[in-house]
């Protein structure tokens, strides 16, 4: 009888070992997804407005004069010319005139939203070198030989986060978002009288217009 019990126990242990060696596996497929959204909210308010100017061009091509609107809204307009504007305007005696006589000068205001906190992006403004590539401001229907204005020396001033002038290299500078991913900045430029040799010297009592591009990229 004792021998039978020992045999039974041995068979039970063997059955247990055999059962525990069987593996049961199941596999589930897990989906993965990511959404890409590289769009940003880039808005423009206002325009580059030099107000009302009294002007005359020098049809002898001797000289030209200009008015600079710094990008910083707290800075006043000035007749000091630097960079491409000073290159375009030959120094010397001439008949060119450009003086502020009224209106409300204003800088264009740009706003960027939808960035990550403290992200950086590049801003690009036009680059000019001399009178050959200035951005012309002209009448909608100019009479033959009438003078134009030119825009040069674009500048950028960041007004959000830590305000300050933006250093530009070949027209490109870096802007920094604040803690909520927003950026605000202004653009300034210099306007000069016609640096060429127009037939007429007097500007018409009308609006002279142009457009230029400002790009942000990250």
pLDDT in tens for each of the 218 residues of the chain? 555 554 455 545 555 555 556 789 999 999 999 998 888 899 999 999 999 999 999 887 668 999 999 999 999 999 989 999 999 987 666 789 999 999 999 999 999 999 999 999 999 999 999 999 999 999 999 998 899 999 999 999 999 989 999 999 999 999 999 999 999 999 999 999 999 888 888 899 999 999 999 999 98
Position 10 in a domain: no
* Radius of gyration of the chain from its Cα atoms, rounded to whole angstroms: 35
CA distances from 139 to 52, 101, 126, 149 (A): 15, 19, 21, 10
Note the pLDDT of residue 37. 82
- What is this structure's pTM? 0.84
Whether 117 is in a domain gets the answer: yes
**pLDDT at residue 5, as a whole number:** 53
Q: Is residue 187, in this structure, part of any structural domain at all?
A: yes
Residue 21 lies in a domain: no
Indicate whether 66 belongs to any domain.
yes
Non-local (6+) Cβ contacts of 159 within 8 A are: 73, 109, 184, 185, 186
Q: Would residue 112 count as lying in a domain?
A: yes
Q: Is residue 5 part of a domain?
A: no
Classify residue 20 as left (phi > 0), alpha (psi -120 to 50) or beta: alpha
pLDDT at 12: 55
Can you give the pLDDT at residue 207? 95
pLDDT at 63 (0 to 100): 85
Question: Range of 87's domain?
Answer: 40-202+209-217
Number of domains in the chain: 1
**Residue 34 φ then ψ, to 5°:** -145, 140
What pLDDT does residue 127 have?
98
For residue 39, the model assigns a pLDDT of: 85
| Residue 171 zone, left/alpha/beta (φ > 0; ψ -120 to 50; rest) | left
């Amino acid at each position: 009888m004792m021998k039978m019990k020992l045999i039974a126990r041995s068979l039970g242990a063997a059955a247990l070992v055999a059962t525990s060696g069987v593996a049961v596996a199941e596999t589930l497929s897990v989906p993965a997804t990511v959404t890409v959204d590289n769009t940003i909210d880039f808005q423009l308010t206002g325009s580059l407005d030099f107000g009302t100017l009294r002007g005359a061009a020098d049809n002898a091509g001797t000289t030209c004069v200009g008015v600079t609107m710094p990008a910083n809204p707290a800075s006043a307009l000035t007749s000091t010319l630097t960079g491409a504007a000073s290159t375009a305007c030959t120094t010397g005696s001439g008949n060119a005139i450009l003086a502020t006589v009224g209106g409300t000068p204003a800088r264009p205001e740009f706003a960027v939203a939808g960035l990550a906190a403290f992200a950086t992006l590049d801003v690009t403004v036009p680059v000019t070198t001399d009178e050959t590539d200035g951005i012309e401001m002209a009448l909608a229907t100019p009479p033959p030989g009438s003078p134009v204005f030119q825009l040069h020396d674009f500048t950028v001033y960041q007004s959000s986060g830590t305000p300050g002038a933006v250093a530009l290299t070949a027209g490109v500078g870096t802007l920094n978002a604040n803690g909520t991913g927003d950026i605000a900045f202004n653009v300034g430029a210099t306007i000069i009288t016609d640096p060429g040799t127009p037939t007429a010297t007097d500007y018409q009592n009308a609006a002279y217009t142009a457009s230029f591009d400002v790009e942000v990229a990250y």
